[in-house]
Amino acid sequence: MEDKKNYTGPLMIALQYNDLFDLDSISTSTDTDALPNGRAFTFIKAVQTVNERLVEQNKSDCLLFEVILISKECSEEIKMKVDESVKHYGLEIGKFFFCKKEELINTLQSNKVKLFLSTERDDVYEALHTGIPAALLYDQADDHVLNQLKVIFSGDVIGFSEDSLDGLSEFGFSETQIETIKTAKICMKEFAVLIGQMRRRFGQENSPLCTCVLTSWGSRNVCASALKTLREWGLDVDEAFCLAGAPCSPILAVVKPHILWDGGLLNMS
């Protein structure tokens, strides 16, 4: 493992506290109840399931998920509530960081976060733009399955050739957007390598980790190219969807991913 120093665990994922807990429904009274679940709740439960299954296989496995919590400006009161709530739900949170909005990027970089997950598309896009691996925490319905973590990689980001991506400028995509897509591919690689290693600890069936490729725009050859590239990176994905321009929301509603690596593509509306 020493020669691949960059590609070892733990797989650190950063979440924002306002995704983990639902802060909109906080009452002003200082009740001792824990904060209600937020959009990241099912994600964190799924991550914990994967960790449990990994440890079951090998007690000394160091390639595990580690979740850290980052929060932008908030009051002392909320800080305490967050801390209490994490304990209340038995969530395995490695570290807490409270920092100003401008410091978010730095904090992510200095902690060698392998993935920054957020439901805020702008945050994801901004992070990607500075080279930090970031993906969309897909907004889940409450009744989502908790015992499997689902990750979608964008087949367009991975499978499109440089020329094809440059060609998108003729169709209303800005230089910045195109550059961000290219950066996203580089960021995805390390994450894919690690996930690939994790995925191989389990069999085809009954795996707590499920990986997918979703090609929204590209042809079948773009999708095939993405599958082969991911394979080269050590990840054999389980599911693949190629839409060739068909709307992706109906498909996402069925797949119900937790992590959606779209390279900021969904930000472009």
Gap between the Cα atoms of 261 and 134, Å rounded: 7
Residues 6+ apart with CB under 8 A from 164: 218, 222
User: Which range binds another protein by CB under 8 A, 45-53, 77-85, 116-124, 246-254?
Assistant: 246-254
In the shown chain, the binding pattern of residues 169 to 188 toward another protein, with x for contact by CB under 8 A and - for none, equals: -xxxx---------------
User: Which range binds another protein by CB under 8 A, 12-20, 113-121, 123-131, 239-247?
Assistant: 239-247
Gap between the Cα atoms of 112 and 22, Å rounded: 27
Gap between the Cα atoms of 200 and 195, Å rounded: 9
Is 49 a binding residue for another protein by CB under 8 A? The answer is: no
Is 90 a binding residue for another protein by CB under 8 A? The answer is: no
Residue whose pair of structure tokens reads 């979608």 in the numeric block: 152
Report the residue count for the chain.
Answer: 269
Q: In whole angstroms, how close is the CB of 144 to another protein at the nearest point?
A: 14
Our CB check for another protein shows the closer of 21 and 217 to be 217
The angle formed by the CA atoms of residues 112, 261 and 215, to the nearest 5 degrees, is 150
Q: In whole angstroms, how close is the CB of 125 to another protein at the nearest point?
A: 15
Q: Which of residues 209-238 bind another protein (CB under 8 A)?
A: 210, 212-213, 216-224, 227-228, 231, 236-238
Is 200 a binding residue for another protein by CB under 8 A? The answer is: no
Q: Would you call 117 helix, strand, or coil by DSSP?
A: strand
